[in-house]
Amino acid sequence: MNRGTITHKVFSGESSRGGDKGLPEKRPTVSAIMPTYNVGKYVPEALDSVLKQTWQDWELIIVDDGSSDDTPKILEDYAARDHRIHLYLRGHYGRGKARNTCLERSRGKYIAICDSDDIFPSERFALQVAFLDTNPEYGVVSANYLFFSKDLPLSIQHVFPDNPERIRALFEKGKMGACHGVSMFRKELLDSAGPYCPELLMSEDLDLFLRFNEITRFYKLPEILLHYRCNPSHLDYRTWIALCGYARYAVHRRNSLRKGSKPLALGKWRSRMPGLFMANLVDNLRFIAFQLGYRLRR
Give the pTM. Answer: 0.84
Cα(117)–Cα(211) distance, integer angstroms:
26
Specify whether the CB–CB gap between 237 and 287 falls below 8 A: yes
Handedness of CA 176, 180, 181, 182 (dihedral sign): positive
Residues in the chain: 298
Angle, CA of 34, 29 and 82, to the nearest 5°: 55
Handedness of CA 59, 106, 65, 16 (dihedral sign): positive
pLDDT tens by residue, 46-63: 999 999 999 999 999 999
Alpha-helix runs per DSSP H in 235-275: 237-258, 266-272
Handedness of CA 251, 252, 254, 258 (dihedral sign): positive
Cα(276)–Cα(248) distance, integer angstroms:
11
pLDDT, position 19: 43
pLDDT, position 17: 33
Q: Among 190, 119, 184, which residue's Cα sits nearest to residue 148?
A: 119
Cα(105)–Cα(84) distance, integer angstroms:
13
* Fold of the domain built from segment(s) 5-231: Spore Coat Polysaccharide Biosynthesis Protein SpsA; Chain A (3.90.550)
Q: Is the pLDDT of residue 33 over 70?
A: yes
Compute the average pLDDT of residues 124-142: 98
Residue limits of CATH 3.90.550.10 in the chain: 5-231
> Coil, strand or helix: which one is 166?
helix
